[in-house]
Amino acid sequence: MVIGALTALGAAFAPPARGQRMSVAEYQKKSAKDAKKQEKLRKKAAKQQAKAQKKTNKAQAKQLKKDRKANEKANRKLHAAA
């Protein structure tokens, strides 16, 4: 009796037989689901890329400002000494 219940339970959760094909509706549903998942992943990657680019631009601007300040300081020292 227990073996019969376990066998029935196993059959209920078993994957479909190898030769069984998806219906057109099932295929379309799966395809739409996969496309939606891909779009979500693409958007996430694009968002991360934009964030990384923004961070890089900010770091470059900060470094440029720092370099300009150092250059101005060096010029003031040079002209003050002359």
pLDDT of 45 reads 98
Domain holding 79, by residue range, is 31-82
pLDDT of 22 reads 84
User: How does pLDDT run across 66-79, given as a tens digit for each residue?
Assistant: 999 999 999 998 88
Domain count, the chain: 1
For 82, which DSSP code?
-
Write down the pTM of the prediction: 0.55
Could you tell me which residues come within 8 angstroms of residue 68 by beta carbon, excluding any fewer than 6 positions away?
A: none
Give residue for tokens 């339970």: 9
pLDDT of 78 reads 85
Residue 68 lies in a domain: yes
User: How does pLDDT run across 10-57, given as a tens digit for each residue?
Assistant: 655 555 556 688 899 999 999 999 999 999 999 999 999 999 999 999
Residue 53 lies in a domain: yes
Residues 35, 48: Cα–Cα separation, whole Å: 20
Residue 71 lies in a domain: yes
Residue 15 lies in a domain: no
Three-state SS at 15: coil
Residue 75 lies in a domain: yes
Residue 19 lies in a domain: no
For 14, which DSSP code?
S
